[in-house]
Amino acid sequence: MKIQKVYVSLFAILFTLGIGKYLVKAESYRDSPLITKEHHPEESAESKAFSIKPSVTDENSIKVALLLDTSGSMNGLIEQAKSQLWQILNQLAGTQRTDGQDTRLEIALYEYGNPSRTDSRDKQIKQLSPFTSDMDLISKELFSLTTNGGEEYCGQTIWTSLTELAWGENIKDLKMIYIAGNEPFTQGPVQFSTACQKASDNDIVINTIFCGNWDEGVRTSWKEGADIGKGEYMNIDHNKKTTYVETPFDKEISELNTRLNNTYIPYGKKGAEKSHNQKQQDSNAGSYSLANMADRAVFKSSKKYKAEDWDLIDAYKKDKNVLNNKKALPDDLQALSMDALEAKIQKIIAERDQIKESIQDNNILREKYIRDNSDLVDEDKTLKNSIKKSIEKHAKKKGYALDKN
């Protein structure tokens, strides 16, 4: 009884000093349904009920979720993500199944650690895009990012991406999470070990990218998270500026990109807005360098660049019945007969294919030039190089091969 009285008195003193609230908070975390077995002997009901959302497509897919720390010190990370996006996407676009089956590339994007851009100030996690093949949207969201000091909850962010995104259960899919930041991996109400193990159990690879010293990332559990998630632990210098190799082929590729844009026919409710965004992301890419604009054009000339939700040509190639909805067509096409309309579309398809082929041919020469002048580029400890290395390793395990072109 005396012991109990002493305990109560001590707690009252601590609470008066403002320390007791942390004990209450710690006690509430003990009962959190997402805490691991190491900290709670029984697996939570929520963890037991966890299930992967079905995919929206039956196609074999490469699914990558990017989880970026946008707290106050992460301006450099955001800059690398924006300036290296098209090089990263070209690497993914060149990753194909060895059995020859087509694959779909889908990217999801989250930010965490920025209270000014999230509705929930306790979690400070925001989904910027679910899985999408619209890479113009991903670029737009990256260019919207700002930084502000906040709480970086890695375990909670991973768990959120696992429960919100449509990962599907296709065993042929390559499914990966990349989480980048610079605060301890252990912060927040969800234990990182729970989230990383749940990802691994569902064939989702966790790759961790610590923005800072390698040893510090190890001490703060970033490597442990990758180990549990069967992925790669990497560290980068997030403040290193992206360097490009300008080539004699960049200008022609950029000009071909302008011609390529002219083959897109906006239709439907999203048409005008997404056509404008396509050009805006061209401008954003070009703001870094002509070489970066060339990287974007190369991706746009690949099979992984999708626009069927707003471009009549891509929509027609997916489903010819799209022409039956005359009201969704541009005004100048509505008066055409079906034969005349299809003839016009077939002509544009042939023109677009020719332009894309020219871009790819120029890029073969461009890539050779870059390889021959690789001493001009310092790729070590950057976001794109870290992602490239991990893709090369894990793609092979899932029956994928990289185009070495």
Lowest mean pLDDT among 8-12, 228-232, 236-240, 287-291: 8-12
| CB 217, CB 233: distance < 8 Å | yes
pLDDT at position 57, please? 66
The neighbour count for residue 335, using CB atoms within 10 Å, is: 10
How many residues are present in the chain?
405
pLDDT at position 16, please? 44
Asked whether the predicted pLDDT for residue 367 surpasses 60, the reply is yes
Read off the pLDDT band of 41 (50, 70, 90): very low
How much is the average pLDDT of 207-227?
97
Is residue 340 packed enough to be buried (19+ CB in 10 Å), middle (13-18) or exposed (0-12)?
exposed
Question: Average per-residue pLDDT in the chain?
Answer: 86
In angstroms, the CA 221 to CA 180 distance is: 13
Domain ranges of the chain: 2-31, 60-243+379-402, 250-376
Q: Which CATH number does the domain 60-243+379-402 belong to among 3.65.10.10, 3.40.630.30, 3.40.190.10, 3.40.50.410? A: 3.40.50.410
* Longest distance between any two alpha carbons in the chain, whole Å: 95
How much is the average pLDDT of 375-380?
66
In angstroms, the CA 386 to CA 405 distance is: 19
Radius of gyration, CA atoms only, the chain: 24
Give the list of residues 6+ apart from residue 264 with CB closer than 8 angstroms, or none: 275, 278, 307, 311, 313
pLDDT at position 127, please? 96
In angstroms, the CA 118 to CA 132 distance is: 21
User: Do the strands 103-112 and 125-132 form a parallel or antiparallel pair, or are they unpaired?
Assistant: antiparallel
Contacts of range 302-309, beta carbons closer than 8 Å, 24 or more positions apart: 302/90, 302/93, 303/93, 303/102, 304/89, 304/92, 304/93, 304/104, 304/105, 304/133, 304/135, 305/135, 306/133, 306/134, 307/134, 307/264, 307/274, 307/278, 309/134, 309/268, 309/270, 309/274
| CB 225, CB 196: distance < 8 Å | yes
Asked whether the predicted pLDDT for residue 13 surpasses 50, the reply is no
User: Tell me: the pLDDT tens digits for 383-404?
Assistant: 988 898 899 889 988 889 887 5
User: Tell me: the pLDDT tens digits for 86-123?
Assistant: 999 999 999 988 888 889 999 999 999 998 776 655 67
In angstroms, the CA 217 to CA 16 distance is: 37
Asked whether the predicted pLDDT for residue 55 surpasses 80, the reply is no
In angstroms, the CA 99 to CA 368 distance is: 27
Asked whether the predicted pLDDT for residue 223 surpasses 60, the reply is yes
| Token output for 278 | 């396509």
How much is the average pLDDT of 312-335?
94
Give the list of residues 6+ apart from residue 77 with CB closer than 8 angstroms, or none: 68, 69, 180, 181, 211, 238, 383
Residue that the structure tokens 């259960």 belong to: 169
Query: Does residue 380 or residue 41 have the better pLDDT?
Result: 380
Indicate the pTM of the whole model: 0.85
User: Tell me: the pLDDT tens digits for 271-314?
Assistant: 999 999 999 999 999 999 999 999 999 999 999 999 999 999 99
How much is the average pLDDT of 257-278?
97
Q: Is residue 129 helix, strand or coil? A: strand
The neighbour count for residue 102, using CB atoms within 10 Å, is: 9
Please calculate the CA angle 399-401-402 and round it to the nearest 5 degrees.
155
| CB 173, CB 137: distance < 8 Å | no
| CB 54, CB 101: distance < 8 Å | no
Give the list of residues 6+ apart from residue 6 with CB closer than 8 angstroms, or none: none
Give the list of residues 6+ apart from residue 131 with CB closer than 8 angstroms, or none: 56, 63, 65, 106, 107, 108, 165, 166
Asked whether the predicted pLDDT for residue 235 surpasses 90, the reply is yes
User: Do the strands 174-181 and 205-211 form a parallel or antiparallel pair, or are they unpaired?
Assistant: parallel
| CB 313, CB 348: distance < 8 Å | yes
% of the chain surpassing 90 pLDDT: 70
pLDDT at position 376, please? 64
The one-character DSSP state at 311 is B
pLDDT at position 42, please? 41
